[in-house]
Structure 1
Amino acid sequence: MSSSWAQPPHDPHHPPDYGHESYLYKVPPKVPIVERPIDDYRKIRVVVIGAGFSGLTAAIRLPQRIPNVEFVVYDKNPSVGGTWLENHYPGLACDIPSHTYQLTFEPNPNWSAFYAPGPEIRAYLEGVAKKYKLEPHIKFNHKVTRAEWNQETGKWKVTGEVVDSDEKWEDTADAVISGMGFLNKWKYPNIPGLKEFKGKMCHTGHWTLEPAGEAWKGRRVAVVGVGSSAIQVVPALQPWAEHVDNFVRGKTWIAAPIAAPVLGTLTSSATGNYYFTAEERAEFAKDQEKYYGFRLKLEDELNAVHGATIRNSEMQNGARAAFKEMMQRKLAKKPEIAEHLIPTFPVACRRLTPGPGYLESLVEDNVGFVTSEIKRITETGIETVDGQHHEYDVIVMATGFDTTHVPAFPIIANGENVQDTWREKPITYLSVCSSNVPNWFNSLGPNSAVGSGSLLVLLEKELEYAFKAIGKIQREGIKSMVPKPQAVEAWTNYMDAYFPRTVYSEKCRSWYKGGKEEGRVTGLWPGSCLHAVFALENPRWEDFDYEFLPDHKSALSWLGNGWTTMEYEEKVGHRAFYLEHIDYPPVPE
């Protein structure tokens, strides 16, 4: 028999003639057939918001994971970097080991310090953008001001403005990936007299003063706060300023660094950080196996401390004793500081920081530790409730961010504004998808941070989840995809059942709880970093509601017309693609 019957029509999109004799069986379709091959994927457009770690990773992976994709990244800043571009206060550094704070597929053996300085992290992100040629896909100085879902078209309308101009812009997309982060909306505290001060004042999240150095000589400086920014700013300014007062209202644990055996080989500085020599960095760059082993050990250590986050666990009690002893020892010169600073709440109840050099700087002669509450700001300084007045040339507000997860702009879908629905409690599904918000995917949104483990590993897994969902939208002719209400409720109930088992639910003021002492944990994943990796690996598609495009009149319309594009191509061997990467099973001995 001639094989001509098996040849596809000249045009794979042209309906075949079922009456033609070359077709062996004349079976009229019982469902409408979509006249295209199963793998002839429709073009899909994705808008990515933010050009930090999330946005850059999305821009790298989208064309790799999704065929026939068109995408653009919008960022309000003039360059890549996200929070590492916006923050540049003195002493800015990573608060976990730098070799664990990098993309899994883009290792950097050349970090100068165990806790990488902020400018190096920004340079790392700039290097990633350059290597993967991302800048043509990024529109800088493009601030998003509104996103609105059109249920009729199944598209997002994203509008915005060009920074420092009157120009407006708008875009449409089938899906949106939000990489906005949430530790970027800095705010001044509610202290009377903020505008009265005649000296220099700035917020660490919006640094407008000189970098640490000669310019600070002779200055009397107040640093308000005891979060991670204050803990980094104080030791950075102490060697230069005439005097630094740290105004501390709360208490905090200063963490001992992890991987002590590894640290033993490194050079410590007076600031408490650990530095790699040029020879060590060159050895890492030359010997990839050695570097991989070093990085593997660090990540393994980072993932080994999840037990410390469980209330009354042996690891928690051990950490508490060890941190207390370390803090008392370093503050022995001024023991009254230890009495005020060491918390009664558990280790990790609020964000831990190793604070290289912070405790050491507090005991220096030119540093004061002020625990009396601030009453008001005056023209020349700060008045406290105990009646004391302290005069300063500079006041640094290291008072944190708006950590409520409320988006910076309206996100409108199905008659609701996410700004309103998230004001009291952010409602998501697995952190990635937003309740009642179709085709919208968060990276490092609510309940995405980790109390232990690598944040960037979780970020990559959240994005992979989003790519799988967007790929499904594309393949199956899905117009809108949104988590079912019962799935959202189940996720919420799981978190509310999990967190009381942990130290995060104890009474301490933390951005994990939106800046409150008590309340629902909205910042952290309910489990370990490795738990998140497993949870996000295989999406439960049954947890979503779907609406299909008009030409997909059947649940199986995505099957197309029975052909694949490979069967029309002339590439030799391509039609046997399944032999290119065979997963050979192990043979039992």
Structure 2
Amino acid sequence: MMTSIKTSLPFKKVIIVGAGFSGVAMAYQLRHTLKCDDFVIYDRGAGFGGTWLANTYPGCGVDIPAVFYSLSYAPNPDFSNLFPKQDEVLQYIDRVASRFNLTRHLVGNTEWVGASWQDDTKTWLVKLRDLSTGQEYIHGCNIVISAVGALTNPNLLTVPGTNCFQGDIIHTSRWDHDVSLRDKRVVVIGNGASATQLIPAVAAEVRSITQFIRSTQYFLPGRANNTISPLWQNAFRYVPGLLRLVRLLTFSYLETATPQFSLTETGEKMRKQTSEVSRCYIMDNAPAQYWPLLMPKFEVGCRRRVFDNDNYVRCLKRDNVHLTNDPVVALHERSVLANGFALTQYDTDVHGRGGRSRSKHWKDMGGIEAFNTIGMSEFPNFFYVLGPNSGRGHTSVVYSIESYTGLIARVIKPILEGSALCAEPKLSSEKAYNKRLHDALCKTVFTNSCGSWFIDPQTGKNWAVYPWSSFHMWWTTQVAGLEDWVYELPKMNPRGRNRSFLACLAMSTLVAALSLWWVYSSLYPGTERLWIAVEFPAHPLFCRV
């Protein structure tokens, strides 16, 4: 039975929830940009890595070139492949945490339960649960930063027969490496990126794989996962600027896909070309009986495109791999299953000013949203790293993480310096921003006609996708002003205010007297010595030699 207690943990300036890329990048901003060392990072996992610590299923890897799936201030010349696998990404995150001395700030095996703003003290009380003991406790801080990833909670299988199923049920994000798949009949539920990596990786060792798909995807030819040779690694390490140049070129290339999502003539033409490439790829590489299951009827870009780097489509030609869109209604036989995620990252109980709940705020605002994806009015000193409408479908999420951690650092700087107590976006600015955002989304393919998980079923609004370019993101997070934010300043002690006023008055009077003296002595030369002698006899500040 769980118990809840208040502990005497030392008050912190900042609490970060999440130790993946977002948490590491935010911690870097605190230590190295803001010179703040008074923070703690909580995570459900035992270490750094987030999704790259949790997902260890066979074949797990990156579908964005590694040079751009890394932090700009921590370039990595040591990736062995263009699209590295999970172990290398996790090693990279651990090295970054160690390099910037972040490890001592991490408290693992701890789940975030809730948070409540205290109006009287201008602080947050954060409720946490120790996963090893089940005990709950409270930790106080000035600022809470949610660095929780979007796809973190497994979508549990709830079909009839699950409870009495005699086989092994495994989720890709909770892979059990003690279970052998050799010569077993395996059922895979879902056909997102995880499934398309998993199936080719295990197809050779299992007796059979039957994949139940819920929807179609746009599969595109994979890019060769070339090995990065020691020669190139040394060039990246020792040739000044080379790695940054390749990073810039990769960013620019990926950004060329942006117009494809717009409802313009150019966008329509690009989508038709992509659709044709996908159709030809499937017809050339998949059995004909599966073509209807692999060719979507919705617009390209509605859902994230799958680049077939692991040859999933070709794998469907294997005799022991079977594909169907039949619904899963019950479990009867022994097998191993894997499926997707529940989008519950925003279910944590958070209460802002006056006890206002986050769910009530979103209900009043007409849906899941945040100003510039990082903050909400009436929730002072509460920030998201990858908040509502921060998702990208064509480029590196790490770029977004860097952008938003940079913006949060700019917003909280006065608070950490002591010149402000708290900050929150203006309500009018939050409403105006989200109107602009959804007006922009209406000009793209990211609308409710897609029917994807991007769409909130309660409101029909897209709560996940960022509709503008990466250049626009850079400008609004790194350059644009902070006039949409309201800062609450510390209240000065009345006696201290009076003293300050009298001191300023005395200084102003002295400056005025000195100015008059200078003017008078300039107009009437020769009288200044007498004037000084009369008014300020023998005073070292005024006497001249």
TM-score, structure 2 as length reference: 0.82
Distance 2:344 2:109 in 1: 25
**2:368 aligned with 1:426:** yes
Q: 1:280 to 1:539 in 2, by over 3 A?
A: closer
Counterpart for residue 329 of structure 2: 375
Is 1:320 paired with 2:283?
no
Partner AA of 2:196 in structure 1: I
What pairs with 1:61-72 in structure 2 (closer than 5 Å)? 61-67=29-35, 70-72=38-40
> What secondary structure is seen at the aligned counterpart in 1 of 2:39?
strand
> Secondary structure in 2 aligned to 1:177?
strand
1:507 touches 1:518 (CA, 8 Å); kept in 2? no
1:284 to 2:245 alignment? no
Secondary structure of the structure 2 residue equivalent to 1:191: coil
Cα shift at 1:465: 1.0
CA distance in 1 between counterparts of 2:444 and 2:419 reads: 42
> Aligned residue for 1:585?
none
Closer/same/farther in 2, CA of residues 176 and 231 from structure 1, 3 Å limit = same
Q: Give 1:24-423 correspondences, 5 Å limit.
A: 45-67=13-35, 70-210=38-178, 215-257=180-222, 268=224, 273-311=225-263, 313=267, 314-331=269-286, 334-356=287-309, 357-378=311-332, 380=333, 393-398=334-339, 400-403=340-343, 405-419=345-359, 421-422=361-362
Q: Per residue, is there more helix in 1 or in 2?
A: 2
Structure 2: how far apart are the matches of 1:369 and 1:219?
A: 17
CA distance 1:290–1:537, change in 2 (3 Å): closer
Residue identity in the other structure for 2:23: G
What's the C-alpha RMSD, in Å, of the aligned pairs? 2.7
CA distance in 1, matches of 2:110, 2:118: 22
Instruction: Show CA shifts across 1:398-427 (max 9, x none).
Output: 2x2222542434444432222454488223
The 3-state SS of whatever aligns with 2:381 is: strand
2:67/2:247 contact within 8 Å kept: yes
SS in 1 for 2:398: helix
Which secondary structure does the structure 2 equivalent of 1:274 belong to? coil
CA contact (8 A) 1:405 1:422 kept: no
Contact 1:444/1:459 (<8 A) preserved: yes
Work out the CA distance in 1 between the residues paired with 2:240 and 2:209: 44
Aligned-partner Cα distance in 1 for 2:210–2:330: 16
Q: Deviations over 1:528-548 (max 9, x none)?
A: 222211121235433233332
Q: Deviations over 1:502-554 (max 9, x none)?
A: 1111633423225x59921111112122221112123543323333222288x
Q: Go from structure 1 to structure 2 and tell me whether the alpha carbon gap of 1:482 and 1:291 turns closer, same or farther (over 3 Å shift).
A: closer
- The amino acid of 2:197's aligned partner reads Q
Measure, in 1, the Cα distance between the counterparts of 2:335 and 2:166: 9
Output the CA distance in 1 between the equivalents of 2:458 and 2:168. 31
Partners of 2:59 and 2:178 lie apart in 1 by 12
Gap change, CA 1:68 and 1:78, over 3 Å in 2: closer
What displacement does 1:452 show?
Answer: 2.3
Structure 2 counterpart of 1:7: none
Question: Aligned with 2:215: secondary structure?
Answer: coil
The verdict on how the C-alpha distance between 1:69 and 1:127 changes in structure 2, with shifts beyond 3 A counting, is closer
Aligned to 1:456, the other structure's residue is in SS state: helix
What is the CA distance between 1:188 and its match in structure 2? Answer: 1.9
| Separation (CA, whole Å) in 2 of partners of 1:315 and 1:517 | 32
| 1:128 to 1:552, Cα distance in 2 relative to 1, 3 A | farther
Offset of 1:172 from its aligned partner? 1.8
**Match for 1:372: what amino acid?**
D
Return the alpha-carbon distance in structure 2 between the equivalents of residues 202 and 44 of structure 1: 38
Judged with a 3 Å threshold, the aligned counterparts in structure 2 of structure 1 residues 316 and 44 are, in CA distance, closer, same or farther, namely same
| CA distance in structure 1 between the partners assigned to 2:350 and 2:482 by the alignment | 28
CA distance in 1, matches of 2:490, 2:346: 31
Unaligned runs of 5+ in 1: 1-42, 258-262, 381-392, 563-589
Query: How far is 1:255 from its partner?
Result: 2.7
The structure number with the bigger radius of gyration is: 2
> What SS class does the counterpart of residue 95 from structure 1 fall into?
coil
- What is the one-letter code of the residue matched to 2:472? H
Aligned-pair CA distance for 1:369:
0.9
How far 1:289 sits from its partner (Å)? 4.2
The C-alpha deviation readout for 1:187-218, integer Å capped at 9, x for no partner, is 1244222223211111112222448xxx3221
Q: Percent identity?
A: 25
CA–CA distance in structure 2, aligned partners of residues 84 and 146 of structure 1: 24
1:472 counterpart = 2:440: no
Aligned residue number for residue 513 of structure 1:
455
CA offsets 1:316-371 (integer angstroms, 9 cap, x no match): 2222222222222122xx11212221101122210122132110111112111112
Which residue in 1 is equivalent to 2:524?
none
Offset, 1:119 = 1.4
137-146 or 489-498, which deviates more: 137-146
1:496 is the counterpart of 2:464: no
Counterpart AA for 1:192:
P
Change (3 A) 1:130 1:474: closer
Q: Which position in structure 2 is the counterpart of 1:455?
A: 397
3-state SS of 2:330 partner: strand
Structure 2 CA distance for aligned equivalents of residues 64 and 118 of structure 1? 27
CA–CA separation in structure 2 for the residues paired with 1:209 and 1:509: 35
Cα 1:102/1:67, change in 2 over 3 Å: closer
Structure 2 spans left out of the alignment, 5+ residues: 1-10, 505-545
Other-structure match for 1:584: none
Question: Does the 8 A contact of 2:184 with 2:208 survive in 1?
Answer: yes
